[in-house]
Chain A
Amino acid sequence: AQSVTQLDSHVSVSEGTPVLLRCNYSSSYSPSLFWYVQHPNKGLQLLLKYTSAATLVKGINGFEAEFKKSETSFHLTKPSAHMSDAAEYFCVVTLMFSGGYNKLIFGAGTRLAVHP
């Protein structure tokens, strides 16, 4: 069965310091993985996605994530946090059904706070 575990419900960093949001997944096949971001009172926006090509994936706003099959991890990083990065981040794994339907399985989310 497919599942996603985000290891931290809250992360707090200072502006200008690195960001690390951790995600582990469980999948019985080679998964596709996403990171979505949700700013307060907004919808979800795709940050980046892994689709079995390069294991290091670059996304928007300076974020990147590395797919590590041996560790079943897909951690999200950014070298230097900005105040505007404060948001909730969701790690997502896809589950494909025989009819072609694609289901997204969401982690519980990590709320990132950025302090001046």
Chain B
Amino acid sequence: NAGVTQTPKFRVLKTGQSMTLLCAQDMNHEYMYWYRQDPGMGLRLIHYSVGEGTTAKGEVPDGYNVSRLKKQNFLLGLESAAPSQTSVYFCASSPTSGGALEQFFGPGTRLTVL
């Protein structure tokens, strides 16, 4: 199993450009998540999905959209990138919810917005 994979690994955008980050998991997990990681702030949840066709806002959703058309994929979109969105983005998945269940993380996408 590849686990959780993310595409691309690195990207540089200019302010106002758009892009989509792709997350894929091959573990048949129901739940998927997008986080951003900024220095000194741990990880913050952007959006999450509890199943195919459903998405919901997390802690810092502004400026991002998501889609979950297939169970194994979770896309994160930036419609008009801003320098404040420079960050490292992590995707994660978990089999079901519940306090005892860990989330499995992808390797991350490093995004720079100029």
- A44 interface residue per 8 A CB criterion: yes
What's the minimum C-beta distance from B17 to chain A, rounded to whole angstroms?
Answer: 24
Known: A43-B90, A102-B94. A108 touches B107 (CB 8 A): no
What is the interface size of chain A, counting residues whose CB is below 8 A from a CB of the partner? 28
Total CB contacts across the A-B interface at under 8 A: 65
Type the 1/0 row for B33-74, where 1 means its CB is closer than 8 Å to any CB of A. Answer: 000000011111100101000001010000000000000000
Interface size class of B (residues with CB under 8 A): 20 to 34
Smallest CB-CB A-B distances: 9 pairs:
A106-B42, A32-B99, A102-B97, A51-B100, A44-B105, A43-B105, A94-B99, A100-B97, A43-B107
Q: Can you show 29 pairs from A to B with CB atoms below 8 A apart?
A: A31-B99, A32-B99, A42-B108, A43-B106, A43-B107, A44-B43, A44-B90, A44-B105, A49-B102, A51-B99, A90-B42, A90-B43, A96-B98, A97-B97, A99-B50, A99-B97, A100-B98, A101-B48, A101-B50, A102-B31, A102-B98, A102-B101, A104-B45, A104-B103, A106-B43, A106-B44, A107-B42, A108-B40, A108-B41
> Which positions in B face A, CB cutoff 8 Å?
4, 31, 40-45, 48, 50, 56, 58, 90, 92, 94, 96-103, 105-108
